[in-house]
Amino acid sequence: MSEQMNIHIYGGRIIDPANNVDSVEDLYISQGKIIARGKMPDGFTADESIDAENQIVCPGLVDLSVRMREPGLEYKATLKSECAAAAAGGITTCCCPPDTIPIIDSPAMANMLTHRAAEIGSTQILPIGALTTGLQGETLSDMHALHEAGCVAFCNAESPITNTMVMRRAMEYASSFDLLVILQANDPWLSDGGCMHEGEISTRLGLAGIPEAAETAIIARDLALIEQTGVRAHFARVSSARSVDLIVQARERGLSISADVAIHHLHLTDYDVGKFNTFCRVMPPLRSERDKDRLREAIVSGHIQAICSDHQPHEKDAKLAAFSDAEPGISGLETLLPLGLKLVDEGVLDLDTLIASLSSGPASLLNIEAGTLGTGCRADICVFDPDVEWLLDNTKLLSKGHNTPFKNWPLKGRVTSTLHAGKIVFSQA
Amino acid sequence: MSRDLQYTDNGKLRHFLTIEDLRKETLEQILSTADKFTQFGQREIKKLPLLRGHTVVNLFFENSSRTRTTFEIAAKRLSADVINLNPDTSSTSKGETLLDTVDILEAMHTDLFIIRHAKSGVAELIAQHVPDHVHIINAGDGQHAHPTQAMLDMFTIRQYKGSFHELRVTIVGDILHSRVARSQIHALNSLGVHEIRVVAPNSLLPAQIERLGVHTYTDLLQGLDGVDVIIMLRLQKERMHNAYIPSEQEYFNLYGLTTDSLAAAADDAIIMHPGPINRGLEISSEVADGPRSVILPQVTNGIAVRMAVMAMTLGGASDV
């Protein structure tokens, strides 16, 4: 059994923000766990050795939002294809939003997903349960039962809860069991019909815009409810500078809230939509340069604790349409780390902050055991070469979705090996 | 990207999708070519053999009898074979995609597509999709662009005002939803007018419209003060349902062009409207039918300008 293999990773620079480690040392893996760092344990014989010289060894990445498309939209992607893509991206924990078909609002669905992922075995899938039944925004889901079935958090995906009382009750109920509520702020009236950031570019292109108030108005509302209910809450896919300001102010008032940003919001703006480039159609939309800069700052200052791929694979036709008809989303699993490393290369972040925001940051806000290389922990490990330069060829992605605006981008840094539960699930040929 | 899309490698006009990114010389060439065609239009026999043997398809996913008719007349005067299709009521309803429809017509050796669609960006989408020898003219896409309308307006302005440099031009009305206004703004700026103003309540002005090179006004009389050209836009009657404006009455009182409000403009100001007119909503009949109105000449000029754009994209303009 490969899970039982003894693996020796040698010569690499270990960066493990959860344990404040940054040093060139060896790692020893046995029985699916990390059993030692540094000195070889007595009696250890390696079945497999990984040469990590001049490479970085970090915790397997934790991605807060991955659309697997299965069940329900298998023509876009499958669990099998996307788990392979995750492994190739060094991602060993994928949180799956509840807007699958059927929706994750029953323990059976949550169980099915985790079991299927375990069968495939290359990455862990953690379901996020629906906050309301059928994501309808009317009645609460069986949150406690869903939690017991493995749901690590609860959200209403991209279906806004417009009834403020339902939102309040959902938060109150979740807080009773210390469950995490994930909020993707969007006022459906303000964003109605909109398909990109409202600003000069939407005006030039004659596309209906989504004002930043579609996000900030709802963040402000939800902050008032969080303050009142005391729920543990997380703002997902924050896209604007003013949203960051609201979150920073609330954190400074002492509210225990966290936030994440999608990696593409740290690299692209509405200008990249150019002439109707549907690969840049995402929700929330790509905003201005000022917004991008503020989001970058918030990662550095720690007010945003996680960067995710917001992986949304699509078939070719989904993007071959009028801009407003194109389906939003980017296939992002395999570019998450390289695009993060680009931020390091540009001097925006240091490597330690980047790795924390891709591993220990999201793990700790979810309160899960992941994103750490601590002795005794499950051996979820990402080994990457930070110096290799390559051009992104979207047709070579393992994900079934080849939809990416980063096609032909020069990238630096690439995953060479990924271990999940002590098993080598990816290695660069 | 769009610059490449609209021109061939040796700098000829390949597609005509949006005024933005077109060179000033191209706009001037359209106007001078249209001049020549205007003279032909006054002859007894109006046909020219320029596009003989070429197939032009009017592919109108959104209905428009006026624009389609002028394109049809323009193509026929150039001796092209013209097919009119309104796929909304034929193939697209059977699950055939937009690009499937284009592929099928292209397979029948269409040389030029005139495209109108309710979604912004469709002309660009099709232009990126078709092979090099097929040409696209945008006859209006969503709220993005209506470049032939803008060029016929430029032609009309030049006809009445001579040159562009000293002119102050005001566009009044639903700028937010207007592809015509966007194309006019780009054309007027490219041709070098002195000033462009847009007048509307803030609910009908798109975000950061100033960045396109215009001054914004919410007061009609201030916006009309001393201007040489007034362009009134059509207001869709359903706009009050989405809370853009309170009522037709209030809109007309504040933004309707009447003999009284017209007095704020220069004495020889001309009045334009892309049509169709909502009498009593954006413009009074008295003004629309008055001596300063050039609304009907606009329509006439539409034929020569569309002939010019067709001839230039299909490559025969130098033979005129």
Give B223's DSSP letter. H
Give me the domain span that covers residue B237. Answer: 147-296
Domain shared by B57 and B174, yes or no: no
Nearest Cβ partner of B182 from A206, A209, A317? A206
State the greatest distance between any 2 C-alpha atoms of chain A, in Å, as a whole number: 69
- B207 and A202 within 8 Å at the Cβ level: the answer is yes
Whether B199 and B125 map to the same domain: the answer is: no
Beta bridge partner(s), residue B136 = B113
Amino acid at A215: E
Q: Do A317 and B97 touch (CB under 8 A)?
A: yes
Calculate the CA B72 to chain-centre distance. Answer: 16
CA–CA separation, A279 and A406 (whole Å)? 9
Q: Please report which helix (H) or strand (E) contains residue B158, including its range.
A: helix B147-161
3-state secondary structure chain A: CHHHCCEEEECCEEEEHHHCEEEECCEEEECCEEEEECCCCCCCCCCEEEECCCCEEEECEEECCECCCCCCCCCCCCHHHHHHHHHHCCEEEEEECCCCCCCCCCHHHHHHHHHHHHHHCCCEEEEEEECEHHHCCCCECCHHHHHHCCCCEEECCCCCCCCHHHHHHHHHHHHHCCCEEEECCCCCCCCCCCCEECCHHHHHHCCCEECCHHHHHHHHHHHHHHHHHCCEEEECCCCCHHHHHHHHHHHHCCCCEEEEEEHHHHCCCHHHHCCCCHHHCCCCCCCCHHHHHHHHHHHHHCCCCEEECCECCCCHHHCCCCHHHCCCCECCHHHHHHHHHHHHHCCCCCHHHHHHHHCHHHHHHHCCCCCCCCCCCECCEEEEEEEEEEECCHHHCCCCCCCCCCCCCEEEEEEEEEEECCEEEEECC
SS3 B210: helix
In chain A, where are the structural domains located? Answer: 2-57+379-390+407-427, 60-366
Name chain B contacts of A198, Cβ cutoff 8 Å.
207
Q: Give the count of domains, chain B.
A: 2
Residues of B with CB under 8 A from a CB of A: 1-2, 5, 20, 97-99, 117, 119-122, 124-125, 141-145, 179, 182, 206-209, 211-212
Q: What is the pLDDT of residue B92?
A: 52
For B266, the token pair is 């220069």
Asked if residues A418 and A87 have their Cβ atoms less than 8 Å apart, the reply is yes
Rounded Cα distance between A137 and A162, Å, is: 7
One-letter amino acid at A387 equals D
Q: Tokens representing A34? A: 């990390």
Whether B188 and B238 map to the same domain: the answer is yes
Q: Are residues B185 and B286 in the same domain?
A: yes
Take residue A204 and report the two structure tokens written for it. 């030039």
What's the gap in Å between the CA of B156 and the closest CA on chain A?
24
Per-residue pLDDT of chain A (429 residues; tens, 9 = 90+): 445 799 999 999 999 999 999 999 999 999 999 999 999 999 999 999 999 999 999 999 999 999 999 999 999 999 999 999 999 999 999 999 999 999 999 999 999 999 999 999 999 999 999 999 999 999 999 999 999 999 999 999 999 999 999 999 999 999 999 999 999 999 999 999 999 999 999 999 999 999 999 999 999 999 999 999 999 999 999 999 999 999 999 999 999 999 999 999 999 999 999 999 999 999 999 999 999 999 999 999 999 999 999 999 999 999 999 999 999 999 999 999 999 999 999 999 999 999 999 999 999 999 999 999 999 999 999 999 999 999 999 999 999 999 999 999 999 999 999 999 999 999 996
| H or E element in which residue B252 lies | helix B248-255
CB contact under 8 A, A203 and B5: no
In whole angstroms, what is the distance from residue B113 CA to residue A148 CA? 60
pLDDT tens digit sequence for B119-147:
999 999 999 999 999 999 999 999 999 99
Nearest-Cα distance to chain B for A202, in Å, is 8
Q: Are residues B226 and B113 in the same domain?
A: no
Please report residues of B whose CB lies closer than 8 A to that of A275: 1-2, 5, 121, 124
Among A204, A209, A211, whose Cβ lies nearest the Cβ of B212? Answer: A204
ipTM for the assembly: 0.94
pLDDT for the residue B320? 52
Nearest to A182 by CA among A107, A126, A254: A126
Are B151 and B141 found together in one domain? no
Q: Are residues B248 and B174 in the same domain?
A: yes
Alpha-carbon gap, residue A50 to B280, rounded angstroms = 80
Q: Which CATH superfamily is domain A60-366 in?
A: Metal-dependent hydrolases (3.20.20.140)
Structural tokens at position A389:
């330069």
CB-nearest partner of B212 from A203, A274, A325: A203
Q: Which of B99, B124, B207 lies closest to A276 in CB terms?
A: B124
Question: ∠ CA A12-A416-A411 to the nearest 5 degrees?
Answer: 105
β-pair type (B112-117, B55-60): parallel
Residue A334 · residue A402 · CB < 8 Å: no
Which residues of chain B carry a pLDDT beneath 50? 1-3, 319
For residues B154 and B291, membership in a common domain is answered with yes
Residues of chain B contacting residue A204, judged by C-beta atoms under 8 Å apart: 20, 182, 212
DSSP state at residue B195: E
Contact B144 A206 (CB under 8 A): yes
pLDDT for B4:
81
Contact across the interface for B120 and A198, Cβ inside 8 Å: no
Identify the helix (H) or strand (E) that includes residue B152: helix B147-161
Examine the domain organization and report whether B140 and B230 are in the same domain: no
pTM flag (> 0.90): yes
- Which candidate in A16, A99, A260, A310 is catalytic? A310
A2-57+379-390+407-427 is classed CATH 3.30.300.30 = no
* Contact yes or no for B140/B146 (Cβ under 8 A): yes
What is the enclosing helix (H) or strand (E) of B55?
Answer: strand B55-60
Residues of A in contact with B1 (CB under 8 A): 274-275
Chain A / chain B CB contacts < 8 angstroms: 72
Whether B108 and B207 share a structural domain: no
Catalytic-residue membership of A310: yes
- Exposure pattern of A156-178 as b/e (b: 16+ CB <10 Å)? bbebbbeeeebbbbbbebbbeee
Do B168 and B97 fall into the same domain?
A: no
Written as one letter, the residue type at B186 is: H
Task: Give the pair of three-digit tokens for residue B216.
Answer: 């914004």
Q: Of A199, A320, A322, which has the smallest distance from its Cβ to B121's Cβ?
A: A322
Q: Are residues B138 and B211 in the same domain?
A: no
The helix/strand/coil state of B178 is: coil
Tokens at B31, concatenated? 């106007």
CATH code, B263: 3.40.50.1370
Please give the torsion angle defined by the CA atoms of residues A345, A81, A64 and A244, in that order, rounded to the nearest 10 degrees: 50
